[in-house]
Structure 1
Amino acid sequence: MSSARQTRARRSSPRAGAEAAHRGELLHAMLRIRRFEERCVELYSAAKIRGFVHLYIGEEAVAVGVTEALTPDDAVVSTYREHGHALARGLPAEAVMAEMYGRTTGCSGGRGGSMHLFDASRRFYGGNAIVAGGIPLAAGLALADRMRAAHRVTCCFFGDGAFAEGAFHETANLAALWGLPLLFVCENNRYAMGTALERHEAQTDLALRAASYGMVAWAVDGMDVEAVETAAHRAAEGIRAGAGPYFLELRTYRFRAHSMYDPDRYRDKAEIERWKAQDPIERLMGSMRERGELGDRALTRLEREVADEVDHAVETAEKAPEEPTETLLRHVTSATAEGS
């Protein structure tokens, strides 16, 4: 059989078709996050979104690849850069955008905003404005599952800056000591706010340091969604088999500044461009085109679908009600205190 015929045969096999369809789903999920975040830039600039906003542009492969390895029963604990995690976990774009607007239809009732997305029904236990603040909370969820003999994984996202916090090291030690079903996902984007990794860590191989706690740990190319998914599946399977906590250092990069307030003067522009050349979305598109899995029409259709979803999210958010001032103390003080 000629090489051309062999190639056509591989493409037409059921397995190849399923793999191609799955790559299409990964691309859709990453594009959805990217376009949502780009719209947030526009809305923030127009003063329709207020407060602090930390964008996930450039890191989409991490959220999408990791959540592919999780089940609906698993728990996710996030950081203040959590829009991508929330969308990948399945929170509706309308609920996330409404939360960005501070509207009552938001996933946190309009009270959390960008840094505090939350949805207990999807076991998404929120963003956390405190660096490393979610890590011990994730250990608590994992401990509860172990005590109940629940066959679950708790996935905790955090950045390289959180790795320097005592909360991580204390939690890593206890998680390994108690064999907790906890997946540590370190999004190493090389900057803790404005501080470069080599300026705040003597040993920059974070997976190596995590392994010193007696847990399985390895580093992964965080700009390759398929590599991330493969690693996350391996880790989740190990945790479900009772092997205790796992640690993934996902080496990634944020294309935007730390937050919308950040002038981003601490990074060399050439460095940013080098990382943009590894854009996870463009990499997957290129791979799919080489395999004959993505044509111009299909991409245009996908972009239109994502754009329509984001447009709808913005429209519904702008029409959603704000909370009346007389109920602002609800969930803040007790009913007795409110009535006194």
Structure 2
Amino acid sequence: MSNILPPDLARTMYHDMFCIRQFDSKVVALVDDNEIPGSCHEYCGQEAVAVGVCSALTKTDILTSTHRGHGHILAKGGDVGKMFAELLAKSTGYNHGRGGSMHIADVGLGIYGANGIVGAGAPMACGAAHKFKLAGERNVAVSFFGDGAINQGVVHEAMNLAAIWRLPVIFVCENNQYAISTPLRDVSILDPYIRAQSYGMPGVSVDGMDVAAVFEAAVSAVDRARSGEGPTFIECKTYRYLGHYSGERHMKVTYRTNEELEYWKRRDPIDLWAARLIEGGLCTSEEISKLNQKVDDEIARGLQFARQSPEPQVSEALEHMYAVSYPNTPARGAEL
């Protein structure tokens, strides 16, 4: 057990990881039942990354997310009910049912949005970090992205800019081994963290299945950013248990072996952390079961809230837009 982990935080980390797992496991069932329209990109297996990083942040720190962003949102304090409502296209969702899985945002929580464009959150995080620096604020920005983004020009431009301007930004690469079905080793000779070092910032690689290892790396990066020393790149080696998106499992795609999947499942971040809590005397197995039940109750209440929420009204179709009005459209408040 890490010396920098208070007992309450260690237990909260377990709760948050299990909540993300149960949430996205329920999402799978809801997609299969056509209760959620379209597909989602589930986060199952990668929970230690989101929880490890977000546990090192404050409410006023911000993050930018990805198409696989449910875990990031929940780890930063997102509400389960509002999350379900957004996925079910209900008016009580984070984006009033208009954004869906890949565009959830809550500026009040420092969640500057999930993003369906690969790597697009990196320059956004730099923009927020630049604002913090100009304003003399000690907040930091975190950009999550996958290994599939490591060859995107915008990510490298963002890293270069962050290094030159010494921005308080942390780049978190969730290396889950595959960009859809392409192994990282087929498209990059060097590991992502080594490539990041070439921009003049610390680049570290951690076990993304170990929430304590991720947390310690994040704490170090946050401290560095807050003290004005600039950006850090953290590569978290992790694995997604499900396909790239919900529909993949029905397509009988075979780019991963059963042996590989079982290897990573034996290193499940939630099971490993539960065992460490028990071995460290921070929880009994009975207390773990109670935490599990607490999460299951939260998931059930959140889904009930979403199911009972109203759908958006046609008369509100032009609300919640950046622009105030559009040519040849009724004024706001007018009947459509």
User: Residue type of the partner of 1:217?
Assistant: G
- How far did residue 71 of structure 1 move? 1.0
- How far did residue 295 of structure 1 move? 2.2
Which segments of 5 or more consecutive residues in structure 1 lack a partner in the other structure? 1-10
Once the two structures are superposed, residues 77-112 of structure 1 have per-residue CA deviations (whole angstroms, 9 ceiling, x without a partner) of: 100111110001001111111111111100111111
Name the SS of the counterpart of 1:335 in structure 2. Answer: coil
Q: 1:69 aligns with which of 39, 48, 56?
A: 56
For 1:199, the equivalent position in structure 2 comes to 186
Q: 2:277 aligns with which of 281, 285, 288?
A: 288
Contact 1:99/1:110 (CA < 8 Å) preserved in 2? yes
For 1:277, the equivalent position in structure 2 comes to 266
For 1:121, the equivalent position in structure 2 comes to 108
Structural mapping, 1:146-161, within 5 Å: 146-161=133-148
TM-score, with length taken from structure 1:
0.92
Q: 1:216 aligns with which of 202, 226, 237?
A: 202
For 2:221, the equivalent position in structure 1 comes to 235
Once the two structures are superposed, residues 173-228 of structure 1 have per-residue CA deviations (whole angstroms, 9 ceiling, x without a partner) of: 1111111111001101110111111111122x111110000011110111000111
For 1:297, the equivalent position in structure 2 comes to 286
1:97 is aligned to 2:84 = yes
- How far did residue 336 of structure 1 move? 5.0
The structure in which a higher percent of residues are helix is: 1
For 2:330, the equivalent position in structure 1 comes to 339
- How far did residue 123 of structure 1 move? 1.3
For 2:93, the equivalent position in structure 1 comes to 106
Once the two structures are superposed, residues 236-280 of structure 1 have per-residue CA deviations (whole angstroms, 9 ceiling, x without a partner) of: 001111111111001111111110022442111110110111100
Name the SS of the counterpart of 1:209 in structure 2. Answer: helix
Give the alignment's Cα RMSD to 1 decimal: 1.8
Structure 2: how far apart are the matches of 1:302 and 1:145?
A: 37
For 2:234, the equivalent position in structure 1 comes to 248
User: How many residues are treated as equivalent by the alignment?
Assistant: 326
- How far did residue 147 of structure 1 move? 1.4
Q: Percent identity?
A: 40
Q: 2:254 aligns with which of 265, 280, 294?
A: 265
Structural mapping, 1:168-183, within 5 Å: 168-183=155-170
Structure 2: how far apart are the matches of 1:184 and 1:102?
A: 31
Structure 2: how far apart are the matches of 1:76 and 1:294?
A: 31
Q: 2:29 aligns with which of 20, 36, 42?
A: 42
Structure 2: how far apart are the matches of 1:254 and 1:336?
A: 42
Once the two structures are superposed, residues 31-81 of structure 1 have per-residue CA deviations (whole angstroms, 9 ceiling, x without a partner) of: 111111111111111111112300000000000000011111111110011
For 1:312, the equivalent position in structure 2 comes to 301
Contact 1:52/1:115 (CA < 8 Å) preserved in 2? no
Structure 2: how far apart are the matches of 1:141 and 1:75?
A: 8
1:133 is aligned to 2:123 = no
Name the SS of the counterpart of 1:261 in structure 2. Answer: helix
Which segments of 5 or more consecutive residues in structure 2 lack a partner in the other structure? 332-336
TM-score, with length taken from structure 2:
0.93
Contact 1:219/1:250 (CA < 8 Å) preserved in 2? yes
Q: 2:174 aligns with which of 187, 190, 194?
A: 187
